[in-house]
A = this chain, B = another copy of it.
Amino acid sequence: MSSDAEQAPIFANRPVTLREVAAAAGVSVATASKALNGQGRMTAETRERIRETARHLGFRPNSLAQSLLRKRSFTVGLLTNDTYGRFSLPLMAGVSDALVDNGVSVFLCNVEDDQRLGQLHVEAMLDKRVDGIIATGKRIDRHLPVDLANLRIPVVYAFTQPDPGAIGFVSDDVGGARLAVEHFCRLGRRRIAHVSGPASFAVVHARAQAYRDVLAEHGLPAFEPLLGPWSEGWGHDAVARLFGGGGEPPDAIFCGNDQIARGVIDALRERGISVPDDVGVIGFDNWEIVAEATRPPLTSIDMNLASLGREAGLALLSLVGGQPAAPGIRKLPCRLVVRQSCGRPPGG
């Protein structure tokens, strides 16, 4: 019965409806709706009075009712099989960032590699009338374990293999690899090696080819790319191969991911080889938690996943809005993040 009790109940009970706002303002619900949405014709005073009443009552329109009518729920689903979120999370951040300002919320669904789970999540999303779906994964060259081809709502693929005829956003791995190798060339490195992941990954081939191309363009010799698991351990082993055999060792190593790069750097240090003085190292992914912990900190290629997510979110939004868009894969540029493992230019 204090003054608190006078104000609180307005919010403490069930949400305020438009009907209540209309009653309080002495108009019909139709007028109230139009006043709040800037539609219809009425005197400025009436409109303002209704708005003021709504504000005072703490009115917030019921999204469910709006969605039912508008056939638009302002929600989208994000499907992923990237359990640890290495790639999905930055991507999700970008998506969310692009959508939240449009009042769109995101259902996150981790389907692992489980068909049944995928089916379950997709059906749940469909039942909830999501406006669209963004599919993302941990590998650019694999499909999610779920069929999104004939869904009657728009689907955008990001960092995963799109269905034919669909829209997909991926990082430009070739461009990223070129960035790294060209940087080494610019720094005056002459014997550049490449240590990467398993041959079963499409990106491994794309990057290796870019590596060879750039070296050829600069008239430099190419090492045979060393392929193995995406692990620190493999980085170690690769160094043993590069420096243990008889051949002339490299003065730079471009690694397929940051974990390999970390293994390489550790192995070089254990051999008394200085990074970056004797050998420069560049990684891929720019996983800060790894790149900043190596000694010295790791120069790496960033795939701009947040931008990728933004683009995907925006593309989905315009698709939902009815704008047609050409199917196909859009490659977004990578970015070189220079730290200390690659060395400085000759004159620097």
Chain A residues with a Cβ under 8 A of chain B: 11-15, 60-65, 67-68, 73-75, 78, 83-85, 89, 92-93, 96, 100, 103, 105-110, 117, 120-121, 123-129, 150, 152, 231-233, 259, 262, 266, 289, 293
What residues of B have a CB within 8 angstroms of the CB of A232 in the complex? 293
Is B108 a contact of A106 with CB atoms below 8 Å?
Answer: yes
Is B107 a contact of A124 with CB atoms below 8 Å?
Answer: no
Contacts A11-B150, A124-B103 given; indicate if A108 touches B108 (C-beta within 8 A). Answer: yes
Is B12 a contact of A129 with CB atoms below 8 Å?
Answer: no
Is B152 a contact of A11 with CB atoms below 8 Å?
Answer: yes
Chain B nearest CB: distance from A237 CB in Å? 13
Which chain B residue has the least Cβ–Cβ distance from A152? B12
What residues of B have a CB within 8 angstroms of the CB of A60 in the complex? 123, 126-127
Complex Cα distance, B127 from A124, in Å, reads: 20
Contacts A150-B11, A152-B11, A293-B231 given; indicate if A62 touches B259 (C-beta within 8 A). Answer: no
Complex Cα distance, B220 from A153, in Å, reads: 66
Contacts A62-B68, A64-B73, A150-B11 given; indicate if A110 touches B93 (C-beta within 8 A). Answer: yes
What residues of B have a CB within 8 angstroms of the CB of A126 in the complex? 60
* 23 cross-chain CB contacts under 8 A: A15-B152, A60-B126, A62-B127, A63-B128, A63-B129, A64-B64, A64-B73, A64-B129, A65-B68, A75-B107, A75-B128, A83-B89, A83-B93, A84-B89, A84-B289, A85-B89, A92-B110, A93-B110, A96-B110, A105-B107, A107-B108, A232-B293, A233-B293
Which chain B residue has the least Cβ–Cβ distance from A123? B60
Is B75 a contact of A92 with CB atoms below 8 Å?
Answer: no
Which chain B residue has the least Cβ–Cβ distance from A66? B127
Is A124 a contact of B100 with CB atoms below 8 Å?
Answer: yes
Question: Which residue in B11, B84, B106, B117 is a CB contact (below 8 Å) of A107?
Answer: B106
Which chain B residue has the least Cβ–Cβ distance from A74? B128
Contacts A100-B120, A232-B293 supplied; 11 other A-B pairs, CB < 8 Å: A13-B152, A14-B152, A64-B67, A75-B107, A84-B89, A93-B110, A96-B109, A105-B121, A106-B108, A106-B109, A259-B289
Chain B nearest CB: distance from A133 CB in Å? 13
Complex Cα distance, B73 from A196, in Å, reads: 47
Complex Cα distance, B306 from A83, in Å, reads: 12
Question: Which residue in B73, B85, B105, B124 is a CB contact (below 8 Å) of A124?
Answer: B105
Which chain B residue has the least Cβ–Cβ distance from A99? B124
Contacts A85-B89, A150-B12 given; indicate if A129 touches B293 (C-beta within 8 A). Answer: no
What residues of B have a CB within 8 angstroms of the CB of A117 in the complex? 100
What residues of B have a CB within 8 angstroms of the CB of A15 in the complex? 152
Contacts A109-B105, A121-B100 given; indicate if A127 touches B89 (C-beta within 8 A). Answer: no
Complex Cα distance, B121 from A232, in Å, reads: 39
What residues of B have a CB within 8 angstroms of the CB of A78 in the complex? 108
Complex Cα distance, B129 from A78, in Å, reads: 20
What residues of B have a CB within 8 angstroms of the CB of A74 in the complex? 128
Complex Cα distance, B103 from A80, in Å, reads: 18
